[in-house]
Homo-oligomer: A and B are copies of this chain.
């Protein structure tokens, strides 16, 4: 079970970024995304619509407090520009059979997260984007192999030019 935990969502400021982060989570193989901060029904609805249309399973949920979650027996992976390079730990993480919680922040991540995490991992030590970091982390975790989604109403068929969709 791969869970993405997005900390400190702010409806006004983060609406589109959290949507992108949720879509990245789904497309690249996470099972669910949880978010803290502000409750955002329209975010939840828009992601559930994508899952209905393009297949699942995938879920999105608001949680008030992340602390209970992190007491569980999961591996906690925090993506941060300050962490150690992905390439140094990815093999170990791939081999472990434990459930994983991948934490990404929005503005400022509480200092305790750095200590609660089993891994603080950087995708380059240059400032970039939690969306980009999450995409590369999941891509590497699954070695670029993507899951098949179940019960899609629409499927996109790869094309060298143009667009092709199949409805079922």
CA–CA, A163 and B122, complex, Å? 11
Tell me if A136 is interfacial: C-beta within 8 Å of chain B: yes
- How far is B135's CA from A110's CA once the two chains are assembled, in angstroms? 26
> Interface size (A, Cβ < 8 Å)?
55
> In whole Å, how far is A124's beta carbon from the nearest beta carbon of chain B?
5
A139 contacts which chain B residues (CB < 8 A)?
123, 136, 139
Cross-interface CB contact of A127 among B27, B85, B127, B133, cutoff 8 Å: B27
List chain A positions with a Cβ less than 8 A from chain B. 13-14, 16-17, 20-21, 23-24, 26-28, 50, 54, 81-87, 111, 114-115, 117, 119-120, 122-129, 131-136, 139-140, 144, 146, 149, 155-164
